Amino acid sequence: MLKQPFLFFTMQLDETPELNRGRLFLCDYEQGIIGRWIATSGLGNHQGVKDWSKQGGGVIPPTYELSKPLAFYTVATKPVDLRHVKGVEGNGYPITPFAVETKLGVTRSDLLIHKDANQPGSLGCIVLSSSEFADFERVFSAECSNSVSVKLLVGYTY
């Protein structure tokens, strides 16, 4: 059977101003969990329930809270060089669709997986510290090199 890796991002949401950190898992249907990294999405004061509908700091919307629900996002397995983009300043792995609309009618777009380059948190991307991102890239490229993209599931606890 061909390997079919997929990504799963999960994090606890709350109303505190502290930055919450969750986990990004790379899984395979036969091997189980292949990789696990500490990651976050959004800014500390924008990580509450329904903050997936906040532009400029909210978390990546979970697939079940989209106006047209998706089973999965997809993530490109080849990075885009975004060294010139403040906050990314390195490789970024695009998440598609490029733009989604939440059930509250807010459009979120241009989401990526990348390292947390300047201040803790993101504007909706899934971000990892430099060391976690380096390990993610190493494992992701080794395990997913035979695919153009992999599925990404996003879900929160609260």
The structural domains of the chain, ordered by start, are: 6-157 (2.40.440)
What's the rounded Cα separation, in Å, for the pair 112 and 33? 22
Can you read off the two tokens belonging to residue 17? 């101003």
AA identity, residue 145: S
pLDDT of the residue at 119? 83
* pTM (predicted TM-score): 0.95
Q: Which residues are paired to 115 by β-bridges?
A: 128
pLDDT tens-digit profile of 41-95?
999 999 999 999 999 899 999 999 999 989 999 999 999 999 999 889 999 999 9
Percent of the chain with pLDDT over 70: 98
